[in-house]
Amino acid sequence: MKASHSFRARKRLGQHFLRDSSVIRQIIRRAGFEPDAVVVEIGPGLGALTFPLAESVRQVIGIEKDSRLTEILKDRLIEKGIQNVTLVNQDVLKADLGETARPFGGRILVIGNLPYNISSPFLEKLIQSREVVTRAVLMFQAEVGRRLVASPGNKQYGAMTVLAQYHARISPLIEIPKEAFHPPPKVKSLVVELDFTRPHPTRAGNEEAFKKVVKAAFSHRRKTLINSIKGTFSEWRQDEILLGMEKSGIDPKKRAEMLEIDDFIRLTDGLDCFFDKARASC
Ligand code: SAM
């Protein structure tokens, strides 16, 4: 899909439009959406993914922040007589995906060639919306995509990896070269699938605490776990943190990047008394 001549791409909205039709076909094929699927597309832009999607699923809801694009795409959809696409002119970070899903039985799929600057907040939003989003197929800057699929011991493995892999099974689908876009971005992209119907099998007793512990553990990558945890929760007593770590069988001298998701779950359980509001300490 070529950008309209009268249209100037806005950098701050991450406007890099897919123009390689074989890449577009590949993304739609690998997404594997069923014909009766209801798919929410994030940032449809000029419709590179929207048109082939509309042909292959029941309903598409496009959420686009740039009103100029919503208008152009609306006209193009009318021109082609496409009736199963609804466009919403909105910032997706402010959208309520639960409300979006309600008319369709409360379950949606998500696809998006994401503007790079909203990757992290959008991931958080998706995780919060996991009750209604069954699966998401998203294109990220390759480095962010690799972080999502990283394993322990790898330098890309971080808090984002652990929190995302705790809530969804994540698989890399396709690497996309810069030349597939207009204008081309500075880096390669990676399409990743997040399957929220297959979360990590072991669950934390207190998921809010789990999130805080994971973020604290990775807050200072070069420090040991005990120092990172102490650094974030300065009001906690060190001897009590050490006792909690001993209880969970986690070596306080390890670094966060060596811990598996199950280790973080055990660590959170070992420190759970700190999160009990009724107690000042453990
Ligand atoms: N899907 C189109 C494609 O593949 O050619 C466009 C992808 S472009 C990388 C990102 C799109 O997201 C742009 O259309 C941009 O205007 C839109 N966008 C940027 N920030 C947004 C936000 N917060 N909410 C919704 N759409 C956004």
Per-residue pLDDT tens over the stretch 184-225: 999 999 999 999 999 999 999 999 999 999 999 999 988 999
281 has pLDDT over 90: no
Listed in sequence order, the residues at least 6 apart from 128 whose beta carbon sits closer than 8 Å to its beta carbon are none
Distance 140 CA to ligand 1 centre (A): 12
119 class by beta-carbon count within 10 Å (0-12 exposed, 13-18 middle, 19+ buried): buried
DSSP H/E element including 263:
helix 261-270
Contacts of 127 (CB under 8 A, 6+ apart): 163, 164, 167, 168
Extract the tokens encoding 108. Answer: 């949606």
Global pTM?
A: 0.94
Q: Residue length, the chain?
A: 282
Distance in Å, CA 76 to ligand 1 centroid: 17
| Ligand 1 neighbourhood includes 63 CB (under 6 angstroms) | yes
Residue range 229-250: mean pLDDT, rounded:
93
Closest Cα to atom 11 of ligand 1: 43
Residue 242 has a pLDDT of 95
**Is the CB of 16 within 6 Å of ligand 1?**
yes
Q: Cis peptide before 183, with omega less than 30 degrees from 0?
A: yes
Of 64, 113, 114, the closest CA to residue 89 belongs to: 64
Dihedral pair phi/psi, residue 86, rounded to 5°: -110, 130
